[in-house]
A and B are shown apart, each in its own frame.
Chain A
Amino acid sequence: MPSPTSPDLGRKLFRDMLRIRRVEDRIKAMYHLREMRSPPHLCMGHEGIAVGVCATLGRRDVIYPYYRSHGWYLAKGGDLNAMMAELFGRATGCSRGWGGSMHLIDLAAGVMGTSAIVGGTISHAAGAGLTFQMRGQSRVAVVAFGDGATEEGVFHETLNFAALRRLPVVFVCENNLYATNTHIRERQAQTEIYRHAERFGMPGVAADGNDVTEVHAQAARAVARARAGEGPTLIEFQTYRILEHCGVNEDHDLGYRTEEEVNAWRAVGPLERGRGLIDDRELARMTEEIEAEIDAACRSAQAAPWPTTLSLERATR
């Protein structure tokens, strides 16, 4: 789908994706040091969705991502230093060392807290929508989840409830084809996830999640609809996870997908597809800036104090 994207927006979208990728590259590079002891569900390959969607949101809008949420957290404006400190288990972490990689939060940025339970935050977004509606606020809640979550009962329960009450919610499915290591065809009788929307009388859209400008265009439409009081939308974005389900490695040895399949998807990944949004000089400059920012975040995390008490009251002063 063609989308009118200004050069400035294009640069921002690419930079945000690059920043997420570089942060996860750094996690990957440092993980073997055993200083980060929290299971990382890296989003490499998914970056276009979080970035494209979050670029359509304002600071007062809220997101409900899931355990694969480094990208969502950063795209929505979550604090990088606090995220790295959380991964290093420090008291200065975004969850003060209580959550780890799967439980990121930045309330000031509208990152409302993520769950390690599949489908866990889908209904929270409906609660936010209900709150905005009761308070007459023009805010939107976006919830992100994988294809596996659409098999959970709570997904269908929440879609129905949100549609029934015309809640200002956008449901974003990151369909990467696998729930851990099981292909969607082995799990779902009907694999077109966006079609669930029809049952509940809401728009259902399928789109290319690796094309950040298309993601942006589709999200903008759904967010505008929600903000206008016209109710929720379900968007299914196709994408692909490059690394293993959890951890920093490739997983060709497991045999559930072929190396060729991974490489084919890698070639059409969001950064590869979006490369035309910036030139070589911009790429070099962005990379340098981002690396410096990550260096500083890691240094500050590694120097930060450990949490020292099991008392939440004392931990938070």
Chain B
Amino acid sequence: MKFREAVRDATLLAMERDENVFLIGVGIVDPRAVWGTLAGALEKFGPQRVVEGPLAENALTGACVGAAALGMRPLIVHHRIDFVLLTMDQLVNHAAKWKPMFGAQQSIPMVVRAVVGRGWGNGPQHTQSHHALFSHVPGIKAVVPSNPRDAKGLLLAAIADDDPVVYIEHRWLHEDDAEVPAEYFTTPIGRATVARAGRDVTLVAAGPMVSEALKAAQALEAIGIDAEVIDLRTLRPLDTDTVIRSVVKTGHLVVADPDWGPCGVAGEVIACVAEEALDSLRARPVRVTWPDSAVPSSQAIEAMFYPGAREIQAAAVATCEGRTERLVASTVKDFHGPF
């Protein structure tokens, strides 16, 4: 099953199982059905539960908060995570606060499904991933699936969760294909997984960087470095136990996050390791993150922008040799726009 089909599978399954689950968003009944991820939802559940909204992201998000407080489980879908920034008032000031602000009398079980639009020159405002923004605020959880199985499992877990969850979906992964169980299952929120076991270096990765880290691990194997790859899966709450357990074993750490470095998830992972297991680090850890700039549009410079397996590999070699350096180059996948 492809990643995007897994998203659809989870959505329809959740709506079948619980009549409190409903879809809302801008352009969700569009014939293209959000890259097919919502195909058939309207026909199956009708306009009452597939709520096409006006271009009013903040109000729609607030409507989700209001509905969730009354026991509904809204799933709001955004074609671009960049548009979620229009909803930060409802997300940060309201959804995240509703439980603590009233002494935990209410919870807000809502999911914000936000797509990151890397590729085909989408440029500065259609490609941001904002892992860090959505991981910063107490009261919001943030998950980022790296493969079709977790695309389904994490979405079902997010919908079942009683707190607001931002589900960050990298469109870059939409066509990835893998075995996905047909039945209902959840991938636990707050738990990272060891995607590949190894002894020499820990490669922590999130979202599309996981497959890059796995590729890097293969290349490292050829030169005698046995890398362990950890897929974070959840950005908040961060599963530091799994990371630390690995670093205690390997003594070397590389963190690859498809987002900007400053105040980011990669830095947070390293800070947690430094606070709790500094002595286990045998060399300086390395972050592999985006260059500190907007994402460019032209294919010539877009290709320079994204780090991938090569950079992770270089970082792993550097830390294993006791060096540290930030390298930026790229791998570009074959995505043929235009949307």
A residues lining the B interface (CB < 8 Å):
62, 64, 93-99, 103, 105, 107, 112-113, 115, 117, 120-128, 130-131, 133-134, 141, 153-154, 157-158, 160-161, 164-165, 312-313, 315-316
Most buried by B among A103, A123, A153, A315: A123
Name 23 interchain pairs, CB-CB below 8 A, sorted by A. Answer: A64-B66, A95-B105, A96-B102, A98-B102, A103-B102, A123-B59, A123-B62, A123-B66, A124-B65, A127-B62, A127-B64, A127-B66, A127-B69, A130-B63, A154-B56, A154-B89, A157-B54, A157-B56, A160-B56, A161-B53, A161-B56, A312-B99, A312-B104
Knowing that A153-B58, A161-B56 touch, tell me 18 more A-B residue pairs with CB under 8 angstroms: A62-B70, A98-B100, A98-B103, A99-B103, A112-B66, A123-B58, A123-B63, A123-B65, A124-B63, A124-B65, A126-B62, A127-B63, A127-B65, A157-B59, A158-B59, A158-B63, A161-B60, A312-B104
Given contacts A120-B93, A128-B67, A134-B49, contact A113 B59 (CB under 8 A): no
With A127-B70, A154-B89, A157-B56 known as contacts, the answer to whether A99 contacts B63 (CB < 8 A) is no
| B206 is an interface residue with CB less than 8 A from chain A | no
Q: Does B51 contact A (CB under 8 A)?
A: yes
Number of interface residues of B (CB under 8 A): 36
Residues of chain B with a CB closer than 8 A to A97's CB = 103
A122 touches B104 (CB 8 A): no
A62 neighbours in B (Cβ, 8 Å): 70
CB 8 Å contact bits of B126-151 with A (1 = contact, 0 = none): 00000000000000000000000000
A200 to B214, CA, bound (A): 54
Are A161 and B89 touching (Cβ within 8 A)? no
> Bound state CA distance, A312 and B48, in angstroms?
35
In angstroms, Cα B97 to Cα A121, docked, is 13
Q: How far is the CB of B155 from chain A (nearest CB, A)?
A: 21
Q: Report how far A113 CA is from B69 CA in the complex, Å.
A: 10
A104–chain B nearest beta-carbon distance, Å: 9
A122 contacts B72, CB within 8 Å?
no
- Pairwise interchain contact A131-B70, C-beta atoms closer than 8 A: yes
